[in-house]
Amino acid sequence: MSRTLTAAPVALTIAGSDSGGGAGIQADLRSFTHFGVHGCTAITALTAQNPMGVSAIQPAAPEILRAQLERVGEAFDLGAVKTGMLVNAALIGVVADWIADRTDRVPLVVDPVMVATSGARLIDADAESALLALTTRATLVTPNLPEAEALTGRPVRTPEAMRETASELRRITGAAAVLLKGGHLADMPSTDILCDSEGLWNVTAPTIERPTTTHGTGCTLASAIAANLALGRPLREAVRKAKAYLCGALAGARPAGKAAVFALPVTPADDGAVTIVRA
């Protein structure tokens, strides 16, 4: 007896490979798989890294990145695209041109990946203008506080500054929405600020008290949002589901080698534990 197969939703991650397995495309594919989304990849760079830091980056040749994007685009109906580490202006230009040539306008989540949690710079200084040209097409941009400071040129050290900066970043990036992540803020580490066309929103989650590295949290959150957008969920709901998944990943972390990494399978935090309310 034959059966009808329902097509799986598909998301594409355009990012670097993390040799330590905690971030980059490795984290992205874990997020996609968790939400039942088929993951495609276009690799922008090979990195030598582990949860303690990045020691070397080898960018992909622009023509190889372009070929990856073309092969994926011709074979899959993409429900969402997520970008991570794009390294330099040439690679960002390839991605921007490919996005501009697509007529289906899939949701685009841009994780700027300018500064790693360890403090390593992950993008050429002269590539920032190219990155901002890409963000004008984004459904959502997800900077952390060091990246927000790099983009605005001023410190972000208080909840009030976060709210002001989220609004400023939406103007600077030209994106439909910005999710400013608060993990580096001592006063409000579990609250992110979402700025969309309807205003500012506090995205608040439980604080996870565990002695674990936070390496890869940005990749995990952005790709989980992309997965939920690929499933057809509205942006705020996608953000809430993704934040609950990240909380579960942090709570389920277990030792692996000399560092704690995200354990699989992940049990997300109860949906009610993550709230989105007017800021």
Question: pLDDT, tens digit, for every residue of 112-159?
Answer: 988 655 566 667 777 888 999 999 999 999 999 999 998 999 999 888
Give me 253's structure tokens.
């972390």
End-to-end CA distance of the chain: 55
216 is catalytic: yes
Query: What's the CA gap between 34 and 79, in Å, rounded?
Result: 16
Q: Per 3-state DSSP, what percentage of the chain is helix, strand, and coil (rounded to 5)?
A: 40, 25, 40
**How far apart, in Å, are the Cα atoms of 205 and each of 42, 44, 56, 178, 263?**
31, 32, 34, 18, 19
Residue 4 lies in a domain: no
Give me 12's structure tokens.
């594409």
User: pLDDT at residue 266 above 60?
Assistant: yes
Query: What's the CA gap between 27 and 58, in Å, rounded?
Result: 19
219 is catalytic: yes
Identify the active-site residue in 181, 182, 241, 247: 181
Residue 202 lies in a domain: yes
The mean of the pLDDT values for the chain is 89
**Alpha carbon of residue 259 to chain centroid:** 22
Identify the active-site residue in 39, 219, 220, 247: 219
Residue 147 lies in a domain: yes
Q: Averaged over 266-279, what is the pLDDT?
A: 81
Residue 163 lies in a domain: yes
* CATH code where residue 55 lies: 3.40.1190.20
218 is catalytic: yes
272 is catalytic: no
Note the pLDDT of residue 229.
Answer: 98
Give me 230's structure tokens.
């690929």
Contact 90, 61 (CB under 8 A): no
pLDDT digits (tens, 9 = 90+) for 156-213: 988 899 999 999 999 999 999 999 998 766 666 678 999 999 999 999 988 877 655 6
Identify the active-site residue in 47, 173, 217, 220: 217
Residue 5 lies in a domain: no
Residue 3 lies in a domain: no
Under the banding of pLDDT at 50, 70 and 90, the label for residue 250 is confident
**How far apart, in Å, are the Cα atoms of 232 and each of 136, 201, 210, 236, 277?**
21, 21, 33, 12, 22
Residue 68 lies in a domain: yes
Identify the active-site residue in 218, 220, 247, 248: 218
Residue 1 lies in a domain: no
pLDDT digits (tens, 9 = 90+) for 203-239: 998 887 765 567 888 999 999 999 999 999 999 999 9
Around Cβ 29, how many Cβ atoms within 10 Å? 19
Q: In degrees to the nearest 10, what's the CA dihedral of 5, 230, 25, 239?
A: -140
Single pTM value for the model: 0.94
Identify the active-site residue in 213, 214, 241, 247: 213
Range(s) of the domain holding residue 232: 10-278
Contact 178, 141 (CB under 8 A): yes
Note the pLDDT of residue 121.
Answer: 66
Q: How many domains does one find in the chain?
A: 1
Identify the active-site residue in 93, 216, 220, 247: 216
- Cβ-proximal residues to 63 (8 Å cutoff; 6+ apart), any chain: none
